[in-house]
Amino acid sequence: MQKRQERLQKIISAHGAASRRKAEQMIIDGRVCVNGTPATIGQSAEFGLDLITIDGKPLCAEDEHVYLMLNKPRGYITTISDDRGRKTVMSLVADVGKRIYPVGRLDMNSEGLLLFTNDGAFSNRITHPSYQKKKTYEVEVYGDVRNAVSSLQQPIEIDNRLIQAVSVELAKVTSSGGEIRITIVEGRNRQVRKMCAVCGVKVRSLRRISVGELELGDLKIGKWRYLRDEELKAIL
């Protein structure tokens, strides 16, 4: 049977040792070796045939993959660590007891559904554009909400790229604005906020309520729970 080689950063990520970006930095820093020789960016190997070590320790599969969702509050940044001392989402899942990392991102002033895992293949399945995972947001805005909904339903140019929401619904109208429900697939940095700004409304609050087939439901803000087996099967 033909041997199957893969890029080192993909192998490291798939076995829960680090995200692909972090794995690349590990390789650059000389922390990764293959069969006793320092690895290089772009190098491939076969897990189980080649001896892959990180800081001198063999790369092993995680005993158990972990999948969970957090209802992220405002004021936390979506990163593993921060050199500016800001609060990160990792402090909210510190009691999980395993090394995990966030899947995708929510900006500091946004809240709602954020996934975590130690399974690189799962993370890629959720975040890679080719899988077209829909993400739905409830957005409270100031301004002419009716006109904004009409504009948001059309193609919009953001950062020199033409994008279009999957769906846009007017959920509520108030004296100062209202609430819009927006579903997208691109997930670019601060995309929903930028879309609203282009369409003439200012975001008051933004909450993600679903990713693919996963729904936030009644999970309390700041709390997390493991994904159920049926949820994993549905999203994969």
Kindly list the catalytic residues.
Answer: 107
Give the Cα separation of 214 and 227 in Å (integer). Answer: 9
Give the Cα separation of 77 and 235 in Å (integer). Answer: 25
Closest alpha carbon to 180 in 212, 157, 146: 146
H/E stretch holding 72: strand 67-72
CA distance to 3, 44, 85, 191, 219, per residue, from 47 (Å): 10, 10, 37, 37, 38
Closest alpha carbon to 137 in 176, 173, 107, 102: 107
CB 32 within 8 A of CB 12: yes
Residues 6+ apart with CB under 8 A from 115: 67, 68, 69, 70, 102, 103, 104, 126, 211, 214, 227
